Structures are given as structure tokens and as C-alpha cells.
């Protein structure tokens, strides 16, 4: 992170500056330093940046800065892959806009009644946050008009493609002005995304924020070497020794989350399991309970890691060592949020060693050995 650039240097309005202050946000992250000036200059951006590095404000701030509060049409459209994420983005931007009078934002997501959402649109929001399927549905029923937007944000573009939203995204491209600004954010840049950028974003600025351990400065990282069969015992002992309460235990598969969840429950830990096969409404319920401190340990796969935006997670455990290097950074980024510090423990069995060594090389982290 370039320590020199401050929010004051970015020429923001007093309303946004006050909101940042109120939220305790002090310095712009790397992606914010790079994307905000470009987007405020109406330049399209293709940004690759790891999860947890502040992308929501990177596009949220410029949108708030140029929105026309008197105009009664949708000016910015933010597409994202899941309902949870749409609600999170909406909440974050509402927080940023708390001092901006007349600002309106609406979330249009599946699983909520169409009529309720049509009512939200009737209040004339300047910004809409939506999942692609529901948005297209509402546009086709003429319940929402996106034909005059200035800016289209594609957040977590790689996830949207993985979830099969490519045709919906193409439709949105066709239904919105040709000369709109596009801001594409993605943690990875697979071929399909390069195709989209090539087709629709020829004159864009590219931003590449490398996943760096130093973007997570407040996370103490440890390696716990132990046989596979002792992992659970070690996790429970570390929780006690470190006096940890709210933690996440990451596993690589759904089956493993269920198994680990059950073993933790047997060990007397209050726990819930979250993975991709659990219905959306159930997932929301579990996340609400977690935020409300109704249980301590969330056992999860990477599929749901992105949706986990909880500020007071004390530590992350890698029960299984992640299969991809960047996932390690995504996982540990669930702790030490909102200016707090956190800890990350990776349980490394003999067979995990080569994988862990590669992660260390790739992410340039320097985890300390931990004696249980
Ligand atoms: P991403 O979209 O890159 O995964 P988010 O935008 O969800 O990341 O931000 C992650 C967390 O960091 C949020 O809780 C957000 O409020 C917080 N955050 C964002 N920008 C900053 C900043 N400049 N300083 C401190 N915290 C920040
Ligand atoms: Mg994000």
C-alpha cells in the first residue's frame, strides 16, 4: 500500500469524507488509491484485486461523487453474483452515503417478491445493486429502466461467470448505453473475462493489485504441524489457549465441513456449517445468527468465504490447506477487518507440506511455527 496517498488527496466531497471518518476508515487501500481517481475521471477500469481489499468503496465512492441527486433515473448499476453480496454492497454504500441528502439505492435480488422490489424502484433510486437474473427479469417486465445509466459495475465478475451469468451480462451490455463507463472487478482473470473485456471494454485502464501478505498487515499467521488425525484436537486446544471465541474453520469440501462441524459439536463447541449446497435462505439465517453472536465457530468451504463479511472474527483456521494459493489470502482476509487484528492458523499434516510451501512462496508470507 502506498502510504503517501490519503483520502484527502482524492478530492472527495465533505459528505463522503465525513462518512469515512465516521466509519473509522483512515487510509485508502491499494485498489482504492488506483481506481477512485480513474473512475472519477469517467474512465472504464478492469481491476484484478484479491478479496478483502476494499473494492466496494473503490467503486462506491466515485459513484457517490458524480451521482445527480435531482435526476430521477437509474444512473449506476452494480451487478454481483449473490444476494448476500448485493445486500452487503447496498449496506456499505448506504453507510458511505449517510450524509448525502436525497440519495437513494435499491437492491434487486432473487428470493424477494417482485412487487416489493417494483415498489423500491418506484422510489426512483439513483443506484441499483442487483443479481443478474433478477435484474434482467425486471427489465423485461419493464419494472426497471437501465437505458440511461452512466456506470455499470461488474463486481466479482469471475464468480458471476462461474455461476453462469454470462448471457445475462451480455444482455445488460445491450440494454445499457454504448458509451457508459464500465468498472469490472475480479479476483481472477480467466479467459471468459478477457473475452468480455476485449469485446466491451477496449479503452479501459487496467489495474492489477497483486495478492500480497502486506495487504493484510494485522494478521498474525501460524503453522501448526500435526498428523491429520490430530487436527481437530489441536484446533480445540488452540481456541482454548488463545482464548478465541468467534472463529472460522475452513475446509476444502462439503463433506469435510459436515464432518468437522460434527466433531467440533461433540467437543462442546457451538458451531454451524456453511457450504454451497445449503439453500440461500438457510445461509442468510446462519450468517445472521453468526453476526448476532448466537454461535462461535463457523465451519465453511471457500464457496461461501466471499460472502462472509463479519467484522469481529478473531481467527481463521485452515483445517484443510487450500488447493489454490490465492484462496489462502481470501480465507485469512476474513479476520482482521475494520481495523481490528486477527490470527490465522494453518494445520499442516505431512501430506500438506508441499502445498503449504508453495503458498508461502507465492504469497510471500512468513508464518511462525506454533506449538500447541
Ligand atoms: P472486497 O470487495 O475487496 O472483498 P470489501 O469492499 O468488502 O472488500 O471490504 C472489506 C472490508 O474492509 C469491509 O469491511 C470494508 O468496510 C473495509 N474497508 C474498506 N476500505 C477500507 C479502508 N480503506 N480502510 C479500512 N477498512 C476498509
Ligand atoms: Mg467485494
Tell me the per-residue pLDDT of 44-91, one tens digit each, with 9 for 90 and over: 999 998 777 889 999 999 999 999 999 999 999 999 999 989 999 999
Ligand 1, closest atom to CA 92?
A: 16
Q: In the chain, which ranges are continuous DSSP H helix?
A: 14-22, 30-40, 55-66, 83-96, 114-122, 132-140, 157-162, 166-175, 191-200, 231-241, 254-266, 280-291, 302-305, 325-332, 353-363
pLDDT tens for 289-332 read 999 999 999 999 987 776 667 778 899 999 999 998 878 888 88
Number of neighbours of residue 358 by Cβ within 10 angstroms = 14
Pocket test for ligand 1, best of 7, 8, 56 (most atoms within 8 A of CB): 56
CA of 210 to the centre of ligand 1 (A): 16
Q: Which is it for the CA torsion 26, 29, 32, 37, positive or negative?
A: positive
Q: Which residues surround ligand 2, an ion (CB under 5 A)?
A: 55
**pLDDT of res. 42:** 95
Q: Is the pTM of this model over 0.85?
A: no
Residue of minimum CA distance from atom 18 in ligand 1: 54
Cell reading at 300: 465453511
**pLDDT of res. 183:** 97
352 ligand 1 Cβ < 6 A: no
Cβ neighbors of 101 (< 8 A, separation 6 or more) are: 69
**pLDDT of res. 234:** 97
27 ligand 1 Cβ < 6 A: yes
Instruction: With CA atoms as reference, report the closest residue to 246 among 302, 332, 311, 304.
Output: 311
**pLDDT of res. 338:** 59
Report yes or no: 267 and 236 within 8 Å, Cβ to Cβ.
yes
**pLDDT of res. 215:** 59
CA of 11 to the centre of ligand 2 (A): 23
In this prediction, the residues of the chain whose per-residue pLDDT falls under 70 are: 1-3, 211-217, 306-308, 337-340
Distance CA 358, CA 360 (A): 5
Number of neighbours of residue 335 by Cβ within 10 angstroms = 26
Pocket test for ligand 1, best of 57, 80, 154 (most atoms within 8 A of CB): 57
Distance of alpha carbon 77 from the chain centroid: 17
**pLDDT of res. 339:** 59
155 ligand 1 Cβ < 6 A: no
Amino acid at each position: 500500500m502506498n502510504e503517501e496517498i490519503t483520502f484527502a488527496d482524492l478530492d472527495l466531497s465533505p459528505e463522503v469524507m465525513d462518512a469515512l471518518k465516521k466509519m473509522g476508515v483512515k487510509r485508502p487501500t491499494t485498489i482504492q488509491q488506483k481506481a477512485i481517481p480513474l473512475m472519477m475521471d469517467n474512465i472504464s477500469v478492469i481491476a484484478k484485486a484479491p478479496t478483502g481489499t476494499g473494492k466496494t468503496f473503490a467503486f462506491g465512492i466515485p459513484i457517490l461523487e458524480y451521482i445527480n441527486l435531482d435526476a430521477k433515473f437509474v444512473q449506476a448499476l452494480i451487478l454481483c453474483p449473490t444476494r448476500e453480496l448485493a445486500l452487503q454492497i447496498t449496506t456499505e454504500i448506504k453507510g458511505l452515503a449517510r450524509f448525502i441528502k436525497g440519495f437513494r439505492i435499491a437492491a434487486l435480488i432473487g428470493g424477494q417478491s417482485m412487487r416489493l422490489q417494483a415498489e423500491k424502484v418506484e422510489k426512483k433510486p439513483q443506484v441499483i445493486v442487483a443479481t443478474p437474473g433478477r435484474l434482467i427479469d425486471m427489465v423485461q417486465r419493464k419494472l426497471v429502466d437501465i437505458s440511461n445509466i452512466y456506470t455499470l459495475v461488474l463486481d466479482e465478475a469471475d464468480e458471476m461467470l462461474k455461476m453462469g451469468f454470462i448471457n445475462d451480462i451480455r444482455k445488460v451490455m445491450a440494454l445499457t448505453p454504448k458509451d457508459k463507463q464500465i468498472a469490472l472487478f475480479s479476483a481472477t482473470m480467466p479467459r471468459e473475462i478477457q473475452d468480455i473485456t476485449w469485446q466491451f471494454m477496449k479503452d479501459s485502464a487496467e489495474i492489477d493489485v497483486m495478492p500480497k501478505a502486506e495487504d493484510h498487515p494485522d494478521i498474525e499467521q501460524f503453522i501448526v504441524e500435526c498428523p491429520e488425525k490430530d487436527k481437530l484436537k489441536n484446533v480445540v486446544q488452540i481456541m482454548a489457549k488463545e482464548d478465541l471465541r468467534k472463529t472460522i474453520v475452513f475446509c476444502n469440501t462439503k463433506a469435510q465441513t459436515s464432518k468437522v462441524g460434527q466433531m467440533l459439536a461433540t467437543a462442546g463447541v457451538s458451531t454451524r456449517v456453511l457450504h454451497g449446497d445449503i439453500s440461500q435462505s438457510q445461509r442468510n439465517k446462519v450468517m445472521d445468527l453468526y453476526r448476532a453472536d448466537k454461535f462461535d465457530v463457523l465451519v465453511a468451504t471457500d464457496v461461501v468465504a466471499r460472502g462472509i463479511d463479519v467484522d469481529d472474527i478473531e481467527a481463521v483456521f485452515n483445517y484443510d490447506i487450500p488447493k489454490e494459493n490465492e484462496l489462502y489470502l481470501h480465507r485469512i482476509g476474513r479476520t482482521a477487518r475494520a481495523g481490528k487484528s486477527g490470527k490465522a492458523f494453518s494445520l499442516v499434516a505431512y501430506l500438506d507440506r508441499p502445498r503449504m510451501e508453495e503458498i508461502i512462496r507465492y504469497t510471500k508470507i512468513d508464518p511462525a511455527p506454533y506449538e500447541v
